[in-house]
Amino acid sequence: MIPGENVAAFFRDFGVTAEFDGRTATVLFDQHDEDILHGVGQTRLYLVTFSASDFPTLTHGNSIVIDGESYQVQVINSLSDGSLRQARLFKP
């Protein structure tokens, strides 16, 4: 996202439903192939971007359901001022 853009509009226009710890929120979900081992292989990369206030306790090892599919959190990072967070996921 570009600084100064309406983040709420991105979530409204491109978001999907996610569930964690009894809470439901709209998140941005991305999945794409990523080269590994200097292009020898590929792996599927799953990323979810969400408001930090929606899932404040989401952390490494937790399970999250996105659009009905279950994923596990590998790495989680704060973005920009910390109001948004992004997690790298994998399918268990």
Q: Which helix (H) or strand (E) holds 13?
A: helix 7-14
Question: Which amino acid type is present at position 83?
Answer: S
* CB within 8 Å of 22: residues ≥ 6 apart: none
How are the residues of the chain apportioned to helix, strand and coil, as percentages rounded to the nearest 5?
A: 10, 55, 35
Supply the pTM of this predicted model.
0.84
pLDDT exceeds cutoff 90 at 23: yes
- CA 13 vs. chain centroid, Å, equals 16
- pLDDT, tens only, 29-77: 998 777 666 767 767 789 999 999 999 999 999 999 999 999 999 999 9
For the chain, the distance separating the N- and C-terminal CA atoms, rounded to the nearest angstrom, is 29
Kindly report the CATH number that applies to the domain delimited by 7-90: 2.40.10.120
Residue ranges per domain, the chain? 7-90
Query: Three-state SS for 77?
Result: strand
